Structure 1
Amino acid sequence: MVSKLLNSVLMVAPILQKAFLFDCMIGVTDREKFLAYYPTRGLNLGIRVGDPLRPGSINATAVAENQRVVRKIGKEVYGIPYIAVGYPLVENGQVVGCLSTGVTTDQEDRLRGLAENLTDALEGIAQHTESLAQEADELSSASLTLSDAAIQMERKIAETSQISQLIRDISSRSNVLGLNAVLEAARAGAAGRGFSVVAEEIRKLSNTTSTSAKDIFRILDEMNDLVGVVSSEMEKTRNHSLHQSTRIQELYAVMQELRRMADQLREAAVLGGRSE
């Protein structure tokens, strides 16, 4: 004879199944066999009313030990991974049967797999991001070094310009002295011919020096312009590097947060599918 408690559970079992937020398999048994079985589309173990309790099953264990049993069943048993709960039904101090429920863990398993894949991907991205940040810092440091070198080069060019100006002054004075010497040689007549030749050579040397000084100045001006361009571009590169480094650090922080969230997601999936 079926107990009143079992009758009550048998009446409410199909209602309970519809009341659950997610698909839940429900089974009701007495101490020996199934009295009712309500599968779901995603979880059907092929149990029929009247099937005996299998030794060691959730239902048999709950009945034999008079305690709630939670067990995760692997895919290898029925082809569907699920979590089952067996709850003993006690009437007048005696176990009269069991109410069992089950839900699939496909979603949890997929969620866990996705979380693990996401964690691995984020780990790889974080490593690359950290490497990029280090390279950006090194590029910024190199740009700063090159910028300092460009400044030093500008100073050296300025010093060279001073020397070239000195050469130009010497050339100008030599030209004046050569011209005076030519005039004096002309006044001396025949006696000053030899001196006149020397004076003319001094003037030629002065003109050549003056021309060379002009070329040096032109080259130095061009070099100074180029150094200015290089210095300007290096400053831009350095600013870009610093900006890039800052952005990479921000990206790295975001990646760390995403990795933390992925770990929490994985833990939630593990806890959701953990048996007691």
Structure 2
Amino acid sequence: MDLLPLLDKMLPDMGIGVTDRTRWLDYYPGSKIDIGAKQGRAIDPKEPLTDCIQHNRFIKDEVPEEFFGVSFTGLASPVEADGEVIGAVAIQIQEYNERELRRISDQIAASLSNAHEQVGFAL
């Protein structure tokens, strides 16, 4: 059974892909994020996914817009065979909505505080 299509159906908002050490092998874009990782496309040596593969470590990192045209949270885990890293599984989640809601909430709180201070001075 191919796991990526199943995960894509279960979690449609995120992008998910599998790589070897240097290239994307398969990629399923999410409904909210598509980094355009086509089969055979090289992994950018400057992106966090490279660090995951080279240092055999799980990563969770904010990937700036400059890499794929959209910022997102990237998670990646190395895939090993016989004790050697042969690639990675990568997930992209766009947490923009949560951040935007937090920003709006902070603006509302600041506006209410400012209004409260102004009303206090007017009395």
1 CA distance for matches of 2:35 and 2:76? 15
The answer to whether the aligner puts 1:27 opposite 2:17 as a matched pair is yes
2 CA distance for matches of 1:76 and 1:96? 27
1 CA distance for matches of 2:66 and 2:86? 31
Superposed CA RMSD in Å reads: 1.9
User: Could you say what secondary structure the match of 1:23 adopts?
Assistant: coil
Equivalent residue for 1:114, pick from 87, 90, 104: 104
CA contact 1:29–1:59 (8 Å) conserved in 2: no
Match of 1:16 in 2: 7
Match of 1:72 in 2: 62
Structure 1 position 125, deviation (Å): 2.1
Match of 1:47 in 2: 37
2 CA distance for matches of 1:78 and 1:109? 19
2 CA distance for matches of 1:33 and 1:18? 24
1 CA distance for matches of 2:88 and 2:118? 55
CA contact 2:27–2:37 (8 Å) conserved in 1: yes
Larger relative strand fraction: 2
Q: Which amino acid aligns with 1:57?
A: E
User: Could you say what secondary structure the match of 1:28 adopts?
Assistant: strand
Equivalent residue for 2:51, pick from 47, 61, 64: 61
CA contact 1:30–1:98 (8 Å) conserved in 2: yes
Structure 1 position 43, deviation (Å): 1.1
Structure 1 position 44, deviation (Å): 1.3
Gaps of 5+ in 1: 1-7, 136-276
CA contact 2:76–2:89 (8 Å) conserved in 1: yes
Give deviations 1:53-105, integer Å, cap 9, x for gaps: 22122322111000011111233443322111111012221112100000112
2 CA distance for matches of 1:112 and 1:67? 30
2 CA distance for matches of 1:101 and 1:76? 18
TM-score (structure 2 length as normaliser)? 0.86
CA contact 1:25–1:39 (8 Å) conserved in 2: yes
Aligned CA distance change for structure 1 residues 112 and 40 (closer, same or farther; 3 Å)? same
Structure 1 position 124, deviation (Å): 0.9
TM-score (structure 1 length as normaliser)? 0.41
CA contact 2:47–2:67 (8 Å) conserved in 1: no
What are the residue-to-residue correspondences of 1:248-263 with 2, within 5 Å?
A: none
The answer to whether the aligner puts 1:91 opposite 2:65 as a matched pair is no
2 CA distance for matches of 1:50 and 1:76? 21
Structure 1 position 129, deviation (Å): 4.1
Q: Percent identity?
A: 23
Bigger drift between 70-79 and 82-91 goes to: 70-79
Aligned CA distance change for structure 1 residues 116 and 76 (closer, same or farther; 3 Å)? farther
Give deviations 1:118-156, integer Å, cap 9, x for gaps: 121121122134336xx3xxxxxxxxxxxxxxxxxxxxx
User: Could you say what secondary structure the match of 2:80 adopts?
Assistant: strand
